Structure 1
Amino acid sequence: MSFLNPILFAALAAVAIPVIIHFINFRKPRKIAFSTLAFFQELQKSTIRRLNLKRYLLLALRVLGIAMLVTALARPFLPPQISGWLGASSGQQVIALLIDNGPSMMQIDEAGPYMDQAKTAAREVIEQSSDDARFLIVPSHGEVESGRIMRRAEALRYLEDLEPLNKGGYPAERMRLLQERLADQPGQSGHAYWISDARKTHLQKFKDNYNNDDPESEHSVTFIRVGDDSFQNISVASVELTDHVLGEGIPVGVAVTVKNFGDQPAYNSYLSLEIDGERMGQYDVDLEAGQEKELLFEVIPESPGTIGGKAILEGGTYTFDHKRYFSIDVPESRNVLLIGDEGEDRSRRSYLKPVLDAVSETGTRVKAETTDMRNIRDHELDNFDALILESPEQIPDYLQAELVQFVQQGRGLFFVPSEKGSMSEYNRFLSQFDAGSYSGMRGTYGRFEEVASFQPLSEGHILLDDVFQSDEDELRIDMPTIYHYLRYDRDAGTSGTSLLRSNLDEPLFVEHRFGDGMILVGTMGFSPGWSNLSIKPLYAPLVYRMILYAVAWEQGGVREHTLGRSFDRQFADIGTSVTMKLNGDEIRPETASGGQGLRVRYPAVEWSPGWLEMNLDEKKYVIAVNQDISESDFTSLSITETEEFLEESLSLAGVLDITGYSESEIRTAMADISFGREIWSLFIIIALAFMIAECIISKTYKTETGADKQA
């Protein structure tokens, strides 16, 4: 017999309570002198003997009752071999094992590789189970190749083939699968083991995603922790573009973040950037414990199309996360639709159309079309990369719904308010994008009284970088005067970036990401009643860059799939032919066409880092596939922390630490916890029996007999 919670035997100290009470109540009879003592002395001896017997019997029953209750709390059980001999188990036993085979299991401590320790523990559980036991082995990462109930020999062969994988981790999904398979075995007893290095990010992912609709049917789980404390690990954490304007011959900045996840400094590493197989530069990298650095590279696209790149880190012990893939989509042209509102009398003039016309006529990368709000249905919005909504007094509900889908699918929307527009209607529209709200106004439209000006622009501003040449940090530009603009508030909890601000430090143009796309919200229009911007030299380049910014919604890393999630993307294109390849291997996804375009889905459990190439008819997409950065953090939880972490989600039988154990020690530990049948209820029954006996004896046991009284 063994115990799942032996630490609770400390509660045996409670047996001292009835003993203490016994000695407190123990008092010797007081002697009283009497002339004739023979009869009374004999009666006294007989009574004392009976009284002492009763007291010692009640004391023993109380002590034994408490001891049985404490033993029940320690959860005694019989190993499978013994429970089988005694006929304790009903039906065949099914043992399920969830084995962590993520990248962190590549670590090595004094007892050997983590994965080998996990396999040794699993092997001992299998070999020490009863002869008729059946087994289910489920890995935490990658695909589940078997997923069926196996006999001992087959389970051992499957176990030997398990290796650490740099693929997606699915701890919650795999635990649900394990519990469902156990529940599908009627008439059979079952128990589950989870063998892992107790990595914090791994367990957090489990806690965030695991739920059981029927907790009462859940089988208990024993968690077995392998491996020593966390080791040093550095990785490429992210790759992003610093520039939103992409085009042939235009320099683009690539920011690579490198992080040290360990508690020791890391030196003598090197970071390089590779574009289409060509190295673009290299940095020496030294990182203190927990430090991260952002390193910048410059790339100049030579032609339109998709550029495949990767950041490569050299140095360190564990290299699975030393490459991070990204893609840069350099457009040949971008299609923009300007949606104006001429007003009921058709007198309103567009101040953006001349800029777009000039852009289209000079052979730039932007192809622009214009239309009026009344004729919007004559255009297929999916044919455009960005929409400019210039000064609408109202936005019809049907168009609002289409614009929300347009941005969600990864496109840009540039919203410019009208002086005649309703702020409440505008706010209702912006709320659908979580894009803040207008809260008032400054100045009066058309009065031409200065209320503010543009905030001075610094060299390298995101909208004007490389437009002006200057040797100073601040550009010497005659900043436009503002006569009227709307005051704007970002809602709490929403993200947004102010691209331009007034000298009162209030936003003039704010970018908000929504879905896969972006909405650029203006607080002022471009007609003279708002400001004198339209007559300034700054006007044309500023508006041109704003339009480019709106259409440049694709960034390196935005089109990225993170391992550990199913692939589920919506594409505006409705193609008749869809092909996918990951690292050269062909993939057959599930597709569905609908009003929002083409939906492409695939489980992606077997995917590894690389580039996913998709062809929808004649259009090509390249998506970077990278491991979840949480896999790089090897920080583990202690036994106490692990137990507290998991008992909220699981029916936890116990947590066992085999850190540093040899094979023989692991064998012994597994023999102790190899689950047979819990018998704590038997000890509860015995304790109740002792308590009932104590009550009966205390009421019925007499210190004198009837004969004694008569005498």
Structure 2
Amino acid sequence: MAFLAPLLLLGLAALAVPVLVHLIHRERDQLIQFPSLMFLERVPYRSMRRQKIRHWPLFLLRCAAFILLVLAFARPFFTSATAVAGALGGGREIVVLLDQSYSMAYGDRWARAQAAALREIDALGADDRATLILFARNAEAGARSSIDHASVRSAITRAEVGVEVTRFGPALKLAEGILDVSEVSDREAILISDFQKNGWAGDEGIAFAEGVVLRPISVADADTSNLSIASVSFEREPFSAGEQVTASARLVNLGTNDATRVPVTLELDGREVATRSVEVEATGTATVAFDPFIVGEDQRRGTVRIGDDLLLQDNAFHFTLSPGQLVTVLIVEADAPNPDSSLYLERALAIGSTPSFVTEVMAVSDLTADALVGRSVVILNDTAPPASAVGDALTAFVENGGGVLAILGERVRWPSGAPALLPGSFTAAADRIGSRGRVLGYVDYSHPVFDVFNAPRSGDLSSARFFQYRPFTVTDPESVLARFDDGQVALAGHDLGRGRVLAWASTLDSYWNDLALKPVYLPFVHQLAKHLAGYVDPTDWHTTAQILDVASLYAASGHRLEPDRDDPVAVSPTGDRLPIRVREAAVLFELAEQGFYEMHTSGADVDVPLAVAVNADRGESDLTMLDPEELAGAITGRAGAMAPGNLVARERSPEETEGRQGLWRYLLVVALLLLAAETVLSNRMSRVART
């Protein structure tokens, strides 16, 4: 026990004053004139009874009341949690929030965090209840309000650092709910963390109830130096039957000291192929480029590694590279086309690496069924397909997953025997040369062709002027993707089998409009080709806790998962086999570990193995510590206020501890009761003495 005002205990010395006065008191001689003493009996004078305490109960009551009053004014408090529980009656309710995000693996943070959590459990009394919450991005509570402290200790000992980022919100919200329903008056949440700044956004909406205390225990280090591989980028170029890929790793130094002679290693398919040495300035970045390598028909796995430091989780970056990242485009034009009718298309498709477009121009009279083999997209530039076996081959091409773009210029005529590919029909060209032309008045920005233009300052499609176009009547109104400002259809599309067909009611050169001269032309042409090819932007890696659509993963590699037949099995980086059930909807799978997952369709006729690279979220690499006062203000509404629910980055002060316990109130009440009993007893003894 300790006292907030220990000097007031000197008041206990005053307790001896009335006792001493009573014991040493002597009556004064008093002279009284009396006529004669001859008729009185001589009796010896005695004063011994004045020197003894006759009413011990009354004396003890007064002393006890005085002592309790002095102790109450000295403001006592217990420093031991067990003593508090025993003195105030009932147990405590604590919630230990233990951060297991991967930044806790920095140095010995995790060992110190576990030790701090165990100390809190060891300090509990027999009636105290405890709940352990392990948290990172999400929070998970063990047995709630448990008095089995041994099981809580065991859970703390078994816990391990994960690979996810820090998020304080879910853990604090869970602790708030547990303590709100507790019937114990002494409730406390103990937050053990490195208090990473990225873990608190400030809009979590958490406010602890009055009387609930949130006490932090920080295991952060003064030195937060860390070198991380932030990302790996790739440049792809066509090469023979595959691609030539150049990998570049971006390193970030998050410390205040320069990093010198850092080894950076590239591994491909488990084999080390190159090592570079690099220097990274303090709080700076550096890029390391490796020699090109070839990606052929098979998927390749790669890892970039740097030397070890105090945080190992961000020292490796995993990726996969798959073939088929090229989109092959065949431009079919009329036998006597307008000069340079395909020039803008060719130049637009020649630019870009994600994906890379391989373009070939051919006259319609030269088109054969063999020319369609290996193509992703066929562009009918101001021409119709021939009404022959080639036309049937083009239809089969679309039904098997290919894409066709029909550009309806001035020379196109769609004969009756031509394949029925279009989502409607068109008539003779409408001339708007005499006016200022037409603009795009309606665009379906939710469609994949136009979604890149939906963001602010992403390009103005209405800036182009159209002076001629083909009036187009659609079979299905839902197929309209864009209209001119007079209501006529500008772009329409539909699915045919497993492929797609788009019809553009003007040209993609500079004859009927000036779209080719606008900045939006290049991304517009790229989006048309990517949509028709069914191209999915390659995901070379994923992050932990990300939800993977396995069906889309296989679709991007050219395979379709059939329900009840192609149920994949995922093998985690640690070797666990995780079955995945295929249904008609999306097939979702959570990526919980860092490294490479292997997907197998063992139940199918042919096993299609795919690898998925998973990396820890690099947002956790920044070890900057959160300002506790900022977090306190977000929780209590009063930054730095010394109030219940406040979070401060230190242990409780004696004033806070004494204020929480309030023992002086109990002492004062007992003292008043003793004084009341003393009054009743003294009155009764006075009446007895008078009788």
Cα separation, 1, equivalents of 2:451 and 2:297: 34
Give the one of 279, 286, 298 matched to 1:286: 279
What letter is aligned with 2:104?
Answer: M
1:635 shift after superposition? 1.4
CA–CA distance in structure 2, aligned partners of residues 321 and 638 of structure 1: 24
On the 8 A contact 1:256/1:296 being kept in 2, the answer is: yes
For 1:94 and 1:281, the matched residues in 2 are separated by 57
Structural mapping, 1:310-349, within 5 Å: 310-331=303-324
Deviation digits for residues 23-42 of structure 1, max 9, x if unmatched?
Answer: xxxxxxxxxxxxxxxxxxxx
User: 1:468-489, CA deviations, whole angstroms, 9 ceiling, x for partnerless residues?
Assistant: xxxxxxxxxxxx99455445xx
Q: Is the 8 A contact 1:254 1:298 kept in 2?
A: yes
Is residue 509 from structure 1 mapped to residue 509 from structure 2 by the alignment? no
Q: Which residue of structure 2 lines up, in the alignment, with residue 666 of structure 1?
A: none
Structure 2 residue 506 is matched with structure 1 residue 520: no
The aligned counterpart of 2:596 is 610
Query: Residue in 2 aligned with 1:121?
Result: 116
The alpha carbon displacement at 1:581 in A equals 1.5
Secondary structure at the aligned position of 1:283 is classed as strand
Q: Are the aligned partners of 2:253 and 2:284 in contact in 1 as well (CA < 8 Å)?
A: yes
Structure-2 residue corresponding to 1:101:
100
User: Is the alpha carbon distance of 1:635 and 1:140 closer, same or farther for their aligned partners in structure 2, counting shifts above 3 Å?
Assistant: same
1:314-363 deviation line (CA, Å, top 9, x unaligned): 254433211100011112997989999xxxxxxx9999884898798469
Question: 615, 619, 636: which one pairs with 1:626?
Answer: 615
CA distance in structure 2 between the partners assigned to 1:382 and 1:79 by the alignment: 77
How well do the aligned residues superpose, as a CA RMSD in angstroms?
5.4
Distance 2:404 2:431 in 1: 17
User: Of the two structures, which has the highest relative contact order with CA contacts closer than 8 Å and spacing of 6 or more?
Assistant: 1
CA contact (8 A) 1:166 1:608 kept: yes
Could you tell me which residue of structure 2 aligns to residue 637 of structure 1? 626
| Aligned-partner Cα distance in 2 for 1:272–1:238 | 14
> Is the Cα–Cα contact under 8 Å of residues 568 and 601 in structure 2 kept in the other structure?
yes
Deviation (angstroms), 1:276: 0.9
Partner of 1:154: 151
Q: Specify the alignment match of 2:441 in structure 1.
A: 424
Aligned mates of 1:566, 1:131 — CA distance in 2: 44
CA deviation digits over 1:158-177, x for unaligned, max 9?
32333434445554333444
Deviation at 1:673, TM superposition (A): 11
**Where do 1:120-199 residues align within 5 Å?**
120-141=115-136, 147-149=142-144, 150=146, 151-167=148-164, 169=166, 171-183=168-180, 190-199=187-196
Q: CA separation in 2, counterparts of 1:506 and 1:569?
A: 36
Moved more, 247-256 or 137-146: 137-146
2:412 maps to what in 1?
none
Residue type at the aligned position of 2:541: E
SS state of the match for residue 647, structure 2?
A: strand
- Aligned pairs for 1:279-428 within 5 A: 279-301=272-294, 303-331=296-324, 354=362, 361=370, 365-366=374-375, 384=401, 387-391=403-407, 423-426=440-443
Contact 1:248 1:300 in 2 (8 A): no
| Whole-Å separation in 1 of the counterparts to 2:599 and 2:98 | 32
- 1:244 CA displacement: 7.4
Gaps of 5+ in 2: 6-72, 334-340, 346-359, 386-390, 410-429, 433-437, 470-507, 669-691
| Deviations 1:491-536 (CA, angstroms, capped at 9, x unpaired) | xxxxxxxxxx85xx8343116xxxxxxx8247xxxxxxxxxxxxxx
1:575 aligns with 2:567: no
3-state SS in 2 of match to 1:84: helix
Partner residue, 1:439: 462
Aligned residue identity for 1:154: S
Quick one: structure 1 residues 185 and 422, their matched pair in 2 at CA, closer, same or farther if it must change by over 3 Å?
A: same
Summarize deviations over 1:6-53 as a string: whole Å, max 9, x none. Answer: 9xx9xxxxxxxxxxxxxxxxxxxxxxxxxxxxxxxxxxxxxxxxxxxx
Identical amino acids, percent of aligned pairs = 16
User: What letter matches 1:200 in structure 2?
Assistant: K
Q: CA deviation at 1:562?
A: 1.2
Distance 1:118 1:583, change over 3 A: closer
Rate the CA distance shift 1:634–1:358 in 2: closer, same or farther, 3 A.
farther
Contact map agreement 1:168 1:565 (CA 8 A) in 2: no
Structure-2 change in CA distance of 1:120 and 1:675 (3 Å)? farther
Per the TM alignment, residue 98 of structure 1 is displaced from its structure 2 partner at its CA by 1.2
Per-residue CA deviations over 1:578-597 (Å, capped at 9, x if unaligned) read 21122262443664634xx5
**Does the 8 Å CA contact 2:113/2:193 hold for their aligned counterparts?**
yes
**Structure 1 position 632, deviation (Å):** 1.3
CA distance in 2 between counterparts of 1:587 and 1:288 reads: 43
Q: Measured at CA, do residues 368 and 444 of structure 1 come closer, stay the same or move farther in structure 2, by a change above 3 Å? A: closer
For 1:2 and 1:382, the matched residues in 2 are separated by: 85
Task: Summarize the Cα distance change of 1:106–1:355 in structure 2 as closer, same or farther, 3 Å threshold.
Answer: farther
CA distance in 2, matches of 1:553, 1:258: 28
From 543, 546, 565, the counterpart of 1:562: 543
Provide the aligned length of Structure 1 versus Structure 2.
481
Give the 3 Å change call, closer, same or farther, for CA 242–128 of structure 1 in structure 2: same
Q: Which has the larger radius of gyration?
A: 2
**Which blocks of at least 5 consecutive residues in structure 1 are unaligned?**
10-67, 341-347, 394-417, 447-479, 488-500, 512-518, 523-545, 659-668, 687-711
User: Distance in 1 between the 2:267 and 2:369 partners?
Assistant: 34
Distance 2:223 2:467 in 1: 63
State the shift of 1:223 in Å. 2.4
Structure 1 Cα separation of the partners of residues 238 and 78 of structure 2: 67
Mapped to 2, the partners of 1:588 and 1:337 lie a distance apart of: 42
Q: Which moved more, 1:320-329 or 1:296-305?
A: 296-305
CA distance in 1, matches of 2:399, 2:271: 35
CA separation of 1:137/1:194 partners in 2, compared to 1, >3 Å: closer, same or farther? same
Change (3 A) 1:289 1:625: same
TM-score normalised by L of structure 2:
0.56
Quick check: 2:261–2:279 contact (8 Å CA) kept in 1? yes
SS across alignment from 1:262 = coil
SS in 2 for 1:123: helix
Q: Tell whether the 8 Å contact from 2:237 to 2:244 is kept in structure 1 after alignment.
A: no
Counterpart amino acid of 1:93? R
TM-score normalised over the length of structure 1: 0.55
Contact 2:450 2:527 in 1 (8 A): no
Q: Which SS does the other structure have where 2:526 is aligned? A: strand
Q: Where in structure 2 are the equivalents of 1:663-678 lying within 5 Å?
A: 669=651, 678=660
Residue of structure 2 in register with 1:52 after alignment: none
Q: Structure 1 residues 123 and 563, CA, compared in 2 at 3 Å: closer, same or farther?
A: same
For 1:401, the equivalent position in structure 2 comes to: none
Q: Is the 8 A contact 2:298 2:322 kept in 1?
A: yes
| Contact 1:101-1:163 at 8 Å conserved across structures | yes
The CA deviation at 1:285 is: 1.1
Give the whole-Å Cα distance in 2 for the aligned partners of 1:339 and 1:96.
70
CA change 1:85–1:276 in 2 (3 A) is closer
SS in 2 for 1:153: helix
Number of the residue aligned with 2:589: 601
- Is 2:671 the counterpart of 1:655? no
Quick one: distance in 1 between partners of 2:196 and 2:228?
17
Look up the equivalent residue of 1:99 and give its one-letter code: L
Amino acid in structure 1 at the alignment position of 2:587: R
